[in-house]
Amino acid sequence: MNTKTPRPGFPVAQGLYDPGNEHDACGVGFVVNMFGRRSHRIVEQGLEVLENLTHRGACGCDPLTGDGAGILLQLPYDFFAVAAPQAGIKLPAAGDWAVGNVFLPPSEGDRAAAESFFEKVCREEGLDFLGWRTVPTDNSSIGSTARDVEPFIRQAFVGRTPKIARDHFEWKLFVLRKRFGIEIGSLGLTEHAFVYVCSLSSKTLVYKGLLLADQVAKYFPDLRDPKLTSALALVHQRYSTNTFPTWDLAHPFRYIAHNGEINTVRGNINWMRARESMLAHPVFGPDIAKVTPIIREGGSDSACFDNALELLVLTGRSLEEAVSMCIPEPWSGHESMADDLKAYYEYQACLMEPWDGPAAVAFTDGVRIGATLDRNGLRPGRWWQLKDGLVVMASEAGVLDLPPADVVRKGRLQPGRMFLVDTEAGRIVADEEIKQQIVTEHPYRHWLDKYMLELGKLPDILDLPEPDHETVLQ
């Protein structure tokens, strides 16, 4: 974590305090129509879940400044069909454009420089910059502490060009966002000028900030517009156990919202940096150098995990496989686990170390949405399925008033097991089905038997001479 040049409002390292030693525990939840039916009601219910998680958040001596809250939605096409033209933006066909909320400096000079640089990088990556829309905000309800470091929020609209395949569009948006975030420092903006892209996608959109749960809808009037519809809403109220809260560290991130602590984060970051020199891809290879470092400096444990998960998904792994790689079941001593599943986890352990700790993680790619617990199961999670296709998951019961007669089934998250709703298939996908699908995609046991070498067996495999004393000393 970068402790030398903190973002506005963030304390510098001093005495025994180091902002690199941070953890958090929060409230997380989602609502989704499993048949993929979009409505503004889903947005309203998501915000209601968020407000009912208020007690899981926190505030400081300024009671109107929270630790952060937000909501992730599917890209609301009907809303932008009206809002974009009002901002002078002409949108191409659905799927060929993307939008993201961007935190920009309040200073007009810094903001203009940052926007101009974003447009430049956009053109360099072969994308079509469509325009900016100023996001309406109302800061009358937020506290002075949050207002003192409040960014100017704009939406960047980006179009796909013919030379970029539609299934590569999300990757190029990722490259654009990463390059912008990495290279913005070269502009020489005013000290502490803060720039951050909350999301940039053709599938999802994130509204978040240094807010309390009940301030999100008040701060962003967009969320109250009936034309803003979605089939899913992922929400989060942050409780920064030891963390100094900031606008950008509010959840949701681009793929996840997280409750708990990733205790292995320092090792995870180090390993991700160590393997960056070996990263390669048959299609996106030339772009790899543009997106490193993968883990963003100054991110929380949750933000770092989101960075890693995003890379795995955008380079071709399914969302379910990427999550299971990072948050595996307790497999090594599991006597009743099927051998093919154990082989899958053993193989993935050679590629990715677990992001371990007491954690409940909700995740989505805009089509599928789900949640899982770390392998110790030390964070709560409850879910309900209703007759009309509504599915609710949250850190606790009681986040929505659900008529008992309408509840088809309910359950809880389990350690290392996945709860998943697929809005394309229109159903809840069982953990067993998910794991069976991913373990049969490749012959993991065969690969392990043929290619993996165990250090303890090396003397039997290699005929090595005994080293002389000088060599041992050296």
Q: How far apart are CA 199 and CA 181, in angstroms?
A: 12
Q: How far apart are CA 68 and CA 212, in angstroms?
A: 6
Q: How far apart are CA 206 and CA 73, in angstroms?
A: 6
Q: Give every strand in the sheet of 196-197, ordered side by side.
A: 128-134, 152-159, 97-104, 196-197
Q: How far apart are CA 45 and CA 31, in angstroms?
A: 7
User: Rounded to the nearest 5 degrees, what angle is found at the Cα of 57, between the Cα atoms of 56 and 59?
Assistant: 145
Q: How far apart are CA 48 and CA 41, in angstroms?
A: 10
Helix (H, G, I), strand (E, B) or coil at 70: strand
| DSSP string of 79-139, one letter each residue | HHHHHHHHTT----STTSEEEEEEEE-SSHHHHHHHHHHHHHHHHHTT-EEEEEEEPP--G
Tokens representing 29 are 């939840």
Amino acid at position 86, single letter: Q
First to last CA, the chain: 35
Cα–Cα nearest to 262, from 3, 25, 4 = 25
Catalytic site includes residue 59? no
Q: How far apart are CA 244 and CA 212, in angstroms?
A: 15
Scanning the structure block, which residue is given the tokens 């048949």?
A: 35
Tokens representing 69 are 């809250």
Residue in 26, 122, 198, 326 annotated catalytic? 26
Phi, psi of 332 (to 5 degrees): -65, -35
| DSSP string of 30-46, one letter each residue | EEEETT---BHHHHHHH
Cβ partners under 8 Å of residue 272, min gap 6: 294, 295, 304, 307, 308
Cα–Cα nearest to 177, from 80, 287, 83, 282 = 287
Q: How far apart are CA 346 and CA 328, in angstroms?
A: 10
H or E segment and range at residue 348: helix 339-349
Active site residues per annotation: 26
